[in-house]
Amino acid sequence: MDRLFQNNLAWAARMRAEDPAFFEDLAHQQTPRYLWIGCSDSRVPANEIVGLKPGEVFVHRNVANLVMHTDFNCLSVVQYAVEVLKVRQIVVTGHYGCGGVRAALHPADMGLIDNWLHSISVLAKRHRAFLEDARDESDQIDRLCELNVIEQVRILCENSVIRHAWLRGQELTVNGCVYGLRDGLLKDLGVSISAESEIEPKSSRALQSLLERYLG
Report angle CA 173, 70, 91 to the nearest 5 degrees: 25
Catalytic residues: 39, 41, 43, 95, 98
State which residue, 41 or 142, has the beta carbon closest to Co ion. 41
CB-nearer residue toward Co ion: 44 or 207:
44
**Residue 41 CB, nearest distance to Co ion (Å)?**
4
Phi then psi dihedrals of residue 4, to 5 deg: -65, -45
* CB closer to Co ion out of 41 and 199: 41
CB of 43 to Co ion, least distance (A): 8
Q: Are strands 89-95 and 34-39 parallel, antiparallel or unpaired?
A: parallel
Task: Kindly state the smallest distance separating residue 42's Cβ from Co ion, in Å.
Answer: 10
Binding site for Co ion (CB under 5 A): 39, 41, 98, 100
Report the run of H or E that residue 155 belongs to, with start and end: helix 137-157
Strand partners, 95: 179
For Co ion, give the closer residue by CB, 15 or 155: 155
Q: How far is the CB of 110 from Co ion (least distance, A)?
A: 14
Nearest-5° angle of CA 52, CA 69, CA 117?
80
- From CA 120, how far away is CA 63, in angstroms rounded? 11
Residue 193 is classified by DSSP as B
CA distance 132 to 140: 7
Which ranges in 29-106 belong to alpha helices (H)?
46-49, 72-79, 99-105
CB of 182 to Co ion, least distance (A): 14
Residues 6+ apart with CB under 8 A from 44: 38, 93, 95, 179, 181
**Identity of the residue, 29 or 42, whose beta carbon is nearer to Co ion in the bound complex:** 42
- Residue 57: strand pairing partners: 34
